[in-house]
Structure 1
Amino acid sequence: MTVTDAAALAALAGEHLDLVRAPFTLPRSRVLVFREGDGVRVHTAEYERSLAECRVLDTLVVRDRDGAALPITAVLPHVIEFGGGIGLTFAGPHALTVGRVASASERIETTDGQGLDTALRAYSTDGMSIEWTTPDGALTRIALDDETTAARLDIGADRNVQHAASVTHPADLAATETIWLDWFERCPRVRRDLQSMTAFCWWVLGANIVELPALGHARAVVPSKIGYVGLWQWDAYFIAVGLRHGDPELAREQLELAFRFPSDDGQLPDVVHEHGVLATSDDLPPSDRETLRRAGSAIADPSAPVPLTKPPLAAWALAKVLEIEPADDWAREQLARIRRSQDWWFAASDLDGDGMPEYGHPYSSGLDDSPIFDGPLPTTAPDLGAYLVLQDLELARFAERFGDADAAAHRSRAERTLGLLLDLWDDERGLFRARAAGVDVVSDTVVGLMPLLTGHLPEPIVDRLVAALADPRRFGAAWAVPTVAVGDADFSPEHMWRGPVWVNTNALIVAGLRASGRAGLALDLAERTVALVMHGGGPHEYFNPITGQKAATATTAFGWSAALFVDLAVGLSSPPVE
């Protein structure tokens, strides 16, 4: 049996909403509600600000007639229920309402669709109260009675709270439920054992929608409302790949935002956010600018701004999104920007002039603290070479499809780049090397597996990389694939890109194995990746490869982990379950 009803999918997602790793929120809202004792606390989500800096309410508690705090008894995407029949819900993106909510057993269903209202009128809130404290220590209490059955809290842009009695609580509850039911109508239906986590991951993608008013109220599906409130270029690609299965229009919107603000020479920015873009070190706070310039390329002018971007997977993501729903005119417009971005890598990021572009700063790789960046910059990295080959091959296919560019030129450049990439192969060690300012990097990292994506490696090299994936002293960890080989001196199971498993690198290796003719191994790694997310309790930012649990410092409810789980689950459920 499969789950097909939106309400059932919402209930499956609700099983994961613990208000600790997954806050209560609403698509397009910046308001986040977390568990705090028997009550909750409230924050806003803001770019480059921590939760601690964005406190709205330190506590919000519902009390019964005797003054005892009512515990939280259930959480669904549209409501937090407290014992005693009180529920907290949204009243649009900037307000919360708290008041009477009938449990399922209490509801009186009617044929006119007003069952919820009928049930709400049947019970008294007399003697109950709602109280909250603000960060300055102020305590506010609203007594509930048969006339004041609910309270409304409006949260301003300055995080101040205005409150009043609410007469719209039942309607707010119904409206919020409708928003989530509409979202879950789009949730992909997958294999039964994957459906619960898929529903939760689909909730994550909806929960992480942030509206950007300065950009025409564009919808950005951010990596997380906890600390990552912006559209990072790389994240947008992976998130779009998952969104395409249920909301291809929103998937296209993520790519369009990532492509909307190229520099004059074609470079795409690292981040698009509510205040502008992050494309160079000059877009950062002054203290960060100086740090970046000190750590910048040894070849680039240290007094000049350091370009900040992300790896070139734009054409790959575009091709994936168009598989679900063609949009040719829109695609042609995006391709013009992608081609200019690809040219930028060769014209502006080949910092030593050898024909192979380099990373001028770790931020541009997406693997910020990988040991391949422990040495001097720029870094010649096999993953970048692989992405550039893949992107030129995708651009050649688009040129052939639309007849609007020179496919042969893209294929010729891909062939040249592949030759340079093969120069990084170390046959003795069985890996692709990175180079730090021309000096070989000793570390054995996940970037050396990315050349599988090209689909054009010699078979003996593919065999060696496949063997590395199975080797327990390299990438065959209990929960694969670690981002640094287990036996490497730099391996650390909890330290971001220095050992933990990331869902995006796993998904890229799955794609690489498939492109390299290893479909069975690709299927196996896809199964192990979705098993990791379920074992670890959700789509976290990264996982300990020894325990399979969330790494201590990883963000929870992480966008690309959720999106790529959805993508892998759909692929593993082929033919799709209706």
Structure 2
Amino acid sequence: MSADDLARLAGRHLDLQQAPFTLPGSRILVFGGADGAGIRVHTAAYEKPLDACRVIDRLVVTDAAGAVASVTEVQPHAVSFGDGIATLVFAGAEALSIDGRPGTVVEWTTPDGSTGCHLFGGPVRFDVAGDRAIAVTEWAGHDSAVAEAQAVWRDWFAKCPVVRDDLQEMTAFCWWVLGANIIRLPALQGGRPVVPSKIGYVGLWQWDAYFIAVGLRHGDPELAREQLDLAFRYPTAAGQLPDVVHEEGVLASSDDLPQADRDRLRRAGSAIADPNAPVPLTKPPLSAWALRKVLEAAPETPEIRAWARRQLQTIRRSQDWWFADSDLDGDGMPEYGHPYSSGLDDSPIFDGPLPTTAPDLGAYLVRQDLELARFAEEYGDADPALHRGRAGRTLGLLMQLWDADRSVFLARAAGAPVASDAVTGLMPLLTGELPPATTAALVAAIDDPRRYATPWGLPTVAASDPDFSATRMWRGPVWINTNALVAEGLELCGFPERARALRECTVDLVVHGGGPHEYFNPLTGEKAPAATTAFGWSAALFVDLAVQLSR
């Protein structure tokens, strides 16, 4: 299948509603008009809603008879109006170009109420500067802009993995999502970060970078490695990796939060959460897991081994940081000092006081030390026994969270058990080293329709739990990353067929739901109302799952 064929498959999903028209590296987003006619243009910015980043409120094309021409086709490189009477393309990352047949007119309105029009006898270019500024000029470069935009996407789709026929179209769309979400972040001083979404998530979050790299490795392993390079670029002096790098710098502490967020942290009711005593903000320790997967797609060369050694230095210091600086009650088991550090911000396990001792964090720490032990054996850069010993101690502490009567791993809020039956309690499968009876109980929970066997995968809170909501973020909806991690845990624990079934269910969910949304209703398989669309880690993990299922 050619790159152009794959681009056309992706184009079937570019509806200008859930998937805007954009270009790798650009901040410009083109959506369908609010009134159903024409288009509107926004830019992407960190922590700013689309409505605050309007550039053109309405742009319409009218034919020679004065009738408004609808958008009739969207392909990755071009938007067509009226079956081809006009075409809109990118002219580089910061401009749009439109050309039409003689007698055709383009009209536009900007947020300040000003209007403009152009009678086509040649193309017009819209240069975008900032959130609301445009400069409109006639120019002669439209045809070359078409060719350049097509070449950008042709090069991108040439790397798209070829998978099973029933998964190929969605894989092409997910590959488009990853390319579309490439952006420039000034704070990173170079590089090609693939952000979670240009709609609301313009930054490089640790967790997202790991999952995105895992998907990218199948078609662009160099870009996958670059995501880890960027994610590991700004550790603190103590070795902590930051939560996010964004437009204005690095978010690694509650001191970096807006005042309203610091006030909410104070109200959580723990001395640890006192805003006058900064709380580190990070993301779960899956860095060695991600490095392992990215290296699986990399050639075994001296250069790659040297690159891996550099990353391992950062990862080992980060792992040590969890035990030295995030064991907030001093019992040997690190805790989350802030919900942001979990990636599951709104989970009911954080409804109580902080800090939170969470089974998912314990599982990730065990998995990370086991991975680091393997790397130490392969690279000779550390003592594997130290990592294996710590993994064993952490596993022992993790088992103290097991409630045998309820067959669930429970979190603790400032030392007190949290009753919520959340997907965090399934993550200990990732250790691959649970007692057989515990593993069997978790598999039974996954297969129990009263708890986790909902029609469309694993809810983030068990269906029988009082905290369950089918649509509220992290309180019931299915997330692609939690499904994928639990599937991997099932395989590590000796249940490969059950793991495959969950992976098949997960790709079916994305196809059924119409794309790689942020999260899904577990009962209907549809996008949850507040979920972001064209979401980076959902796209990347769909690609990863599709490749696995196509072998």
For normalisation by structure 2, the TM-score amounts to 0.97
Counterparts of 1:126 and 1:192 in 2: how far apart (Å)?
A: 43
Aligned residue runs from structure 1 range 426-575, under 5 A: 426-574=403-551
Q: Deviations over 1:492-512 (max 9, x none)?
A: 000010000000000000110
Q: Kindly state the Cα deviation for residue 208 of structure 1 after the two structures are TM-superposed.
A: 0.3
Q: How does 1:219-368 map to 2 (within 5 A)?
A: 219-295=192-268, 297-299=270-272, 301-326=274-299, 327-368=304-345
Match of 2:91 in 1: 91
CA-to-aligned-CA distance 1:234-263 (integer Å, 9 cap, x gap):
000000000000011111111111111011
User: In the alignment, does 2:127 pair up with 1:154?
Assistant: yes
Gaps of 5+ in 2: none
The Cα shift of 1:300 comes to 5.4
Q: Which residue of 1 aligns with 2:150?
A: 177
Per the alignment, residue 112 of structure 1 pairs with none
Alpha-carbon distance, 1:197 to partner: 0.1
Equivalent AA in structure 2 for residue 341 of structure 1:
S
The answer as to whether partners of 2:479 and 2:519 remain within 8 angstroms in 1 is yes
Q: Is the 8 A contact 1:312 1:387 kept in 2?
A: yes
The answer to whether the aligner puts 1:133 opposite 2:109 as a matched pair is yes
Aligned pair in 2 of structure 1 residues 293, 306: CA closer, same or farther (>3 Å)? farther
Cα distance, 1:66 vs. partner? 1.9
Structure 2 residue aligned with 1:165 = 138
- Matched with 1:81 is 80
Counterpart of 1:331, as a letter, is: A
Q: 1:260 to 1:243 in 2, by over 3 A?
A: same
Amino acid at match of 2:103: G
| Aligned counterpart, 2:50 | 51
Separation in structure 1 between the aligned mates of residue 363 and residue 409 of structure 2, nearest angstrom:
11
| CA distance in 2: counterparts of 1:47 and 1:75, whole angstroms | 26
**8 Å contact 1:271–1:278 — kept in the other structure?**
yes
CA–CA separation in structure 1 for the residues paired with 2:478 and 2:382: 38
> Do the aligned partners of 1:299 and 1:352 also contact (CA within 8 Å) in 2?
no
Contact 2:272 2:279 in 1 (8 A): no
Aligned length in residues: 544
Secondary structure in 2 aligned to 1:542?
coil
Pairwise CA distance, 1:165:
1.1
Contact 2:470-2:476 at 8 Å conserved across structures:
yes
Structure 2 residue matching 1:11: 3-state secondary structure: helix
Residue 155 of structure 1: how far off its partner (Å): 0.4
Query: Counterpart of 1:211 in 2: which secondary structure?
Result: coil
Q: Which amino acid aligns with 2:239?
A: G
Q: CA separation of 1:253/1:151 partners in 2, compared to 1, >3 Å: closer, same or farther?
A: same
Matched, 1:22 2:43: no
Instruction: Measure, in 2, the Cα distance between the counterparts of 1:299 and 1:543.
Output: 34
Q: Deviations over 1:380-406 (max 9, x none)?
A: 110000000000000011111100111
Task: Give the Cα–Cα distance (whole angstroms) in 2 for the partners of residues 158 and 561 of structure 1.
Answer: 28
Query: What's the % identity of the aligned pairs?
Result: 67
Superposed CA offset, 1:176-195 (max 9, x none) = 00000000000000000000
- Quote the offset at 1:158 in angstroms: 4.7
Give me the whole-angstrom Cα distance separating, in 2, the residues matched to 1:200 and 1:279: 33
1:120-176 CA-partner distances (Å, limit 9, x unpaired): xxxxx221111110011111111112xxx2110000125311011121101100100
The correspondence for 2:392, drawn from 383, 407, 415, is 415
Which segment drifts farther, 503-512 or 78-87? 78-87
2:265–2:275: 8 Å Cα contact kept in structure 1?
no
- Contact residue 296 and residue 306 of structure 1 kept, 8 A: no
1:264/1:294 Cα in 2 relative to 1: closer, same or farther (>3 Å)? farther
Match of 1:5 among 2, 5, 10: 2
- 1:254-292 Cα distance to aligned partner (Å, 9 max, x none): 111111101111110000122211101111223333333
Distance in 2 (alpha carbons) for counterparts of 1:488 and 1:298? 29
CA distance in 2, matches of 1:153, 1:361: 44
Residue 212 of structure 1, CA deviation = 2.2
In the alignment, the residues of structure 1 paired with residue 451 and residue 264 of structure 2 have an alpha-carbon distance, to the nearest angstrom, of 33
Q: Distance in 2 between matches of 1:544 and 1:477?
A: 10
Matches of 2:269 and 2:149, distance apart in 1: 47
The match for 2:368 among 385, 388, 391 is 391
| TM-superposition CA deviations, 1:90-123 (whole Å, max 9, x none) | 00000000014xxxxxxxxxxxxxxxxxxxxxxx
Q: For 1:220, what is the secondary structure of its paired residue?
A: coil
Alpha-carbon distance in structure 2 between the residues aligned to 1:430 and 1:240: 34
- Looking at structure 1, the residues matched to 253 and 147 of structure 2 have their Cα atoms a distance apart, in angstroms, of 45
Structure 1 SS opposite 2:464: coil
Deviation at 1:302, TM superposition (A): 4.5
* Distance (whole Å) between structure 2 residues aligned to residue 500 and residue 210 of structure 1: 28
Q: Describe the superposition over 1:42-75 as per-residue Cα deviations: whole angstroms up to 9, x where unpaired.
A: 0000011110110000011111112211111100
What one-letter code is carried by the residue in structure 1 that aligns with 2:197?
S
Q: Write the letter of the residue equivalent to 2:74.
A: V
Partner of 1:315, secondary structure, is helix
- RMSD of the TM alignment (CA)? 1.1
Letter in 2 for 1:99: D
Residue 402 (structure 1) aligns with: 379
User: Partner of 1:103 in structure 2?
Assistant: none
Residue type of the partner of 1:404? D
Contact 2:266 2:274 (C-alpha < 8 Å) held by counterparts = no
The answer to whether the 8 Å contact 1:261/1:268 transfers is yes
Q: For residues 204 and 144 of structure 1, what CA distance do their matches in structure 2 show?
A: 32
Is the 1:292–1:306 contact (alpha carbons within 8 Å) kept by the matching residues of 2? no
Amino acid at match of 1:142: H
Pairwise CA distance, 1:304: 1.2
Contact 1:298–1:376 at 8 Å: present in 2 too?
Answer: no
Compared CA separation, residues 296 and 342, structure 1 to 2 (3 A): farther
Look up the equivalent residue of 2:446 and give its one-letter code. L
- Contact 1:373/1:436 (8 A) holds in 2: yes
* Structure 1 residue matching 2:193: 3-state secondary structure: strand
Match of 1:104 in 2: none
- Answer yes or no: is the 8 Å Cα contact 1:297–1:361 preserved in 2: no
Q: SS state of the match for residue 329, structure 1?
A: helix
Q: CA deviation at 1:458?
A: 1.0
Deviation at 1:301, TM superposition (A): 4.9
